[in-house]
Amino acid sequence: MCQWHQTASHVTTSPWRATITAMEPDQPVVSLRGVDRSYREGDRTRVVLHGLDLDVQPGEWVALVGRSGCGKSTLLNLISGIDRPDSGDIRVNGSSITRLTERERTLFRRRNIGFVYQFFNLIPTLTVVENLLLPIELNRLDHARAYELLAAVGLEDRHASFPDRLSGGEQQRVAIARALAHDPLLLLADEPTGNLDSTTGDQMLRLMESLARTTRRALLMVTHSYDVARQADRVLTLENGRIVNKQAETD
Ligand SMILES: Nc1ncnc2c1ncn2[C@@H]1O[C@H](COP(=O)(O)OP(=O)(O)OP(=O)(O)O)[C@@H](O)[C@H]1O
Ligand SMILES: [Mg+2]
């Protein structure tokens, strides 16, 4: 398993780069206030998130559950800066990302967010190791990390394969390794063990959990699995556009 090292802090004035710097001990890694997101389809509007509030603290592992279509992936896309809310504020380590330009959000995401996408989103024209080297090179980190992480997910012998030659579970493990490659401040994981057997899934949970625990970063994980959710520090249920305070139900 890899050892996680906290990124050295450095001072900068840019708002999205400021979030790279030292962990702020007394503020949430993620904080959402009054977040709304709707989609328009023709002349109809579908309200997905409505007045949503959420905090995730340093070192915390939060599981997010809810019915299919309730807006879990939409929420992760907003926190990562891939998408923008219609209104409300989203802060990562104290800095608001809501008003950043698209380019600023891309830079912010590249440095600070690790994202295990629901459908992996591996780059098909790059080999397994090249998929990991992309975030590593963008952040000027050591190439050795790519091989360490492939070993940590049990795929060191597949480094030269292209993603379409891998099984679904193997692709999912590459996606997990890639999300961890640049030692992100926040790991967002969308059903990251849905394609894995329980033993391999547990190993991947430990790997993702270690990022949050050992460097007091944060892990926000969407899951439909009760066995996964119960291992988190908190389970939040998304329903009718908001986080509701009720006993988590998973399917
Ligand atoms: N680009 C879009 N345009 C229109 N509607 C969208 C768009 N993206 C998502 N939606 C709708 O928003 C709702 C929430 O979608 P989302 O993908 O966030 O659900 P989810 O909770 O992740 O579901 P699942 O558990 O099935 O992955 C769905 O009804 C979906 O159809
Ligand atoms: Mg989803």
Averaged pLDDT in 10-residue chunks for the chain of 251 residues: 36 36 72 97 94 96 97 98 96 94 94 96 98 97 97 98 98 98 97 96 97 91 96 96 71 52
Distance CA 197, CA 205 (A): 12
Record the tokens describing residue 149, joined without a space: 């992480």
The arrangement of secondary structure in 27-244, i.e. its CATH architecture, is 3-Layer(aba) Sandwich (3.40)
Q: Kindly list the strands in the beta sheet with 242-244, ordered across the sheet, starting from the edge strand earlier in the chain.
A: 113-116, 186-190, 218-222, 61-65, 234-239, 242-244
Q: What spacing in Å lies between the alpha carbon of 45 and ligand 1's midpoint?
A: 13
Which residue from 90, 88, 21, 83 is spatially nearest to 55, judged by alpha carbons?
90
The domain locations on the chain are: 27-244
Indicate if ligand 1 lies below 6 Å from the C-beta of 73.
yes
Ligand 1, residue 77: give the atom nearest the CA: 18
The reported pLDDT for the residue numbered 26 is 73
In this structure, the residue with its CA closest to atom 28 of ligand 1 is 69
The reported pLDDT for the residue numbered 214 is 83
AA letter at 56: V
Ligand with the closest atom to the CA of 238: 1
- What's this model's pTM, rounded to 2 decimal places? 0.90
Mark the residues whose beta carbon lies below 5 A from ion ligand 2: 72-73, 118
Structure-derived torsion over alpha carbons of residues 63, 214, 148, 198, reported in degrees to the nearest 10: -40
| DSSP conformation class of 157 | G
Indicate if ligand 1 lies below 6 Å from the C-beta of 236.
no
Indicate if ligand 1 lies below 6 Å from the C-beta of 69.
yes
Indicate if ligand 1 lies below 6 Å from the C-beta of 241.
no
The dihedral through the CA atoms of 204, 208, 209, 211 has a sign that is: positive
